[in-house]
Amino acid sequence: DAKTTQPNSMESNEEEPVHLPCNHSTISGTDYIHWYRQLPSQGPEYVIHGLTSNVNNRMASLAIAEDRKSSTLILHRATLRDAAVYYCILEMNSGGSNYKLTFGKGTLLTVNP
Amino acid sequence: GAVVSQHPSWVICKSGTSVKIECRSLDFQATTMFWYRQFPKQSLMLMATSNEGSKATYEQGVEKDKFLINHASLTLSTLTVTSAHPEDSSFYICSATRTSGPTDTQYFGPGTRLTVL
């Protein structure tokens, strides 16, 4: 299975941009890069996903390296509510038409007021 | 948005009893539902994948006779932990997707905290 590597933790200040890196050097050509985040004692929440091109949505931006071996989740202005564990995941085909997410340890983002 | 609910949000039971957890997609039909388990300070571990009307596909190491999954409709999946023991105490989280493609967002429930005494 293709795996991802993320820093265990990162810290940011409120109102500042945050760049969360992810390495996925064994990614295959058809693997999508997904980002989810999990607040304490809650289920994860979808953030963004992409394949090759950079992606933007109301929550964040996803910058994907040209060789696809790494990506960066960008929160443009961190707020206290963005403090969570951020997971970078490669969605894998689990057989037939089913795809599954394999969660790694993620990055614990702390946002300072 | 797409909302997934779980019931109960927490449950305490005695060792040896069975516990059923429900997962519902409230405003969409879920072709596929997933069940995860999360121990304290650890990441989510996928337990099984279920498609409506089909038998669940369990991940390696997950006992299918202990963790019974039923996905009888497009909006409801249940996980029954049979003969629960203290080591089954965990945070159980379900998720659902509208279809089963590689770009489909998984919408997660809020989780159910199971404590087995």
Query: What are the tens digits of pLDDT across the range B47-83?
Result: 999 988 888 999 999 999 999 999 889 999 999 999 9
In terms of DSSP bridges, do strands B10-13 and B112-116 run parallel, antiparallel, or are they unpaired? Answer: parallel
* Mean pLDDT (chain B, rounded): 93
* Mean pLDDT (chain A, rounded): 92
Q: Report the range of poorest mean pLDDT among A1-15, B16-30, B82-96.
A: A1-15
Count Cβ–Cβ pairs < 8 Å, chain A vs chain B: 63
Identify all chain A residues contacting B36, using CB atoms and an 8 Å cutoff: 103
d(C-alpha B100, C-alpha B98), whole Å: 7
Identify all chain A residues contacting B113, using CB atoms and an 8 Å cutoff: 41
* Highest mean pLDDT pick, A25-29, A64-68, A95-99: A64-68
Nearest CA in chain A to B37: A43
Closest CA–CA distance from residue A41 to any residue of chain B (Å)? 8
Q: What is the largest CA-CA distance in chain B?
A: 41
Q: Report the range of poorest mean pLDDT among A19-23, A36-40, A66-70, A102-106.
A: A102-106
- Output the pLDDT for position B111: 97
- Output the pLDDT for position A49: 94
Tell me which of A5, A62, A99, A102 to substitute to probe the interface with B (most B C-beta atoms closer than 10 Å).
A99
Phi-psi region at B41: left, alpha or beta (left = phi > 0; alpha = psi -120 to 50): left
Nearest CA in chain B to A108: B41
Identify all chain B residues contacting A49, using CB atoms and an 8 Å cutoff: 103, 105
d(C-alpha B47, C-alpha A94), whole Å: 13
A101 at B interface, C-beta within 8 A: yes
Q: Kindly compute the dihedral angle of the four CA atoms of residues B43, B46, B51, B55, in this order, to the nearest 10 degrees.
A: -150
Nearest CA in chain B to A96: B100
- Look at residue B101 and tell me whether its pLDDT is greater than 80: no
Which pLDDT band holds residue A96 (cuts at 50, 70, 90)? low
- Look at residue A110 and tell me whether its pLDDT is greater than 80: yes
Peptide bond into A7 cis (omega under 30): no
- Output the pLDDT for position A57: 93
Identify which of A44, A45, A74, A46 has the alpha carbon closest to the alpha carbon of residue A62. Answer: A74
d(C-alpha A2, C-alpha A68), whole Å: 12
- Output the pLDDT for position A30: 83
B100 at A interface, C-beta within 8 A: yes
